Amino acid sequence: MAIHNEAKIGEIAKTVLMPGDPMRAKYIAENFLEDYKLVNTVRGMYAFTGKYKGKEITVMASGMGMPSIGIYCYELYKFYNVENIIRIGSCGGHVDYLKVLDIVLVDKSYTEGNFAKNMTGVENHIVQSSSYLNEVIEQTAKELNQKYVKGNMACTECFDPYLDDPMQFVNRLPKEYNLMGSEMESFALFFTAKHLGKNATCLLTVSDSLCTSEELTSEQRQNSMNEMIKLALESTLKL
């Protein structure tokens, strides 16, 4: 029984899009879904189930950080028999070839943290996203002529701009993983999916860059997400 989700069994689709912000979940439901229904309001973490071009989809917020998304994705997989979760969010860029507004498809996620050890007792700091979901998204992007960058991301426990020295953090990241930037949820999502035998991946829009000091406003963050949202939704039609 889910503790943090009041949706009834059958009210959550097999495929879930998962933004961090509850208001972004609401925005997606209102602007992209038909016949949608609000199925969860516990702790203000909205979940909406509706149809996109006839396909049943749930959009549910994850909140911020690994502990938050770890709870919600675990319950979706374990208690609602969800098969696929695509996180859609924002990230900061650490490399000069990653530009503000670029769309990133995450291949692997690295963390310095101990989420994996906490969950299973086994230490693990890098985890692969679902190759199945990534193949679907890449094929869809090709059909839509949608540009994207595929690569590895760091998953942090602190918001980059609030670090005392962001570059000190970037410089100590393992060079062999070629980490392009950072966000705060993907590792927990990927690891939980792998642990439970499910599928997960992550699409991100670059919202700021440590290399160029560019940064989107809150309004720009919301408006610029539409291309990424469309790519995710169109991909769900193949699942």
Over residues 160-183, the pLDDT tens digits come to: 889 899 889 999 999 999 999 999
CB 12 within 8 A of CB 47: yes
**Burial of 104 (C-beta count, 10 Å sphere; 0-12/13-18/19+):** buried
Could you list the residue range(s) of the whole structural domain that residue 23 is in?
Answer: 15-236
Which tens digits make up the pLDDT trace of 141-164?
Answer: 999 999 999 999 999 999 888 989
Cα–Cα distance for residue pair 163/166, rounded to 1 Å: 5
Please count the other Cβ atoms lying within 10 Å of the Cβ belonging to residue 238: 13
DSSP one-letter string for 122-146: S---EEE--HHHHHHHHHHHHHHT-
**Inside any domain, residue 206:** yes
Let me know if residue 5 belongs to a domain: no
| Count of domains observed in the chain | 1
The reply to whether 7 falls in a domain is no
- For residue 8, what is the DSSP state? P
Q: Using pLDDT thresholds of 50, 70 and 90, give the confidence band for residue 134.
A: very high
In a domain, 2, yes or no: no
CATH number, domain with residue 195: 3.40.50.1580
4 found inside a domain: no
d(CA 18, CA 63): 9
Whether 6 is in a domain gets the answer no
Whether 171 is in a domain gets the answer yes
pTM of the model: 0.96
Active-site residue, selected from the candidate residues 21, 102, 107, 208: 208
Residue 208 annotated as catalytic: yes
In 3D, which of 200, 237, 234, 232 has the Cα closest to residue 69?
200
Given a cut of 70, whether residue 223 has pLDDT beyond it is no
Return the structure tokens found at 67: 């502990």
Classify strands 149-155 and 199-209 as parallel, antiparallel or unpaired.
unpaired
Complete DSSP assignment for 25-80: HHHHHHHH-EEEEEEE-GGG--EEEEEETTEEEEEE---SSHHHHHHHHHHHHHHS
Higher pLDDT, 237 or 208: 237
Q: What's the CA dihedral at 202, 112, 162, 105 to 10 degrees?
A: -20
| Residue from 180, 179, 184, 181 nearest 157 by CA | 184
CB 203 within 8 A of CB 105: yes
How many other CB atoms are found less than 10 A from the CB of residue 161?
Answer: 10
Asked if pLDDT for residue 213 goes beyond 80, the answer is no
- From the number of C-beta atoms within 10 Å of its C-beta (0-12, 13-18, 19+), residue 168 rates as exposed
Report the pLDDT averaged over residues 30-51: 98
- Average pLDDT of the residues in 23-49: 97
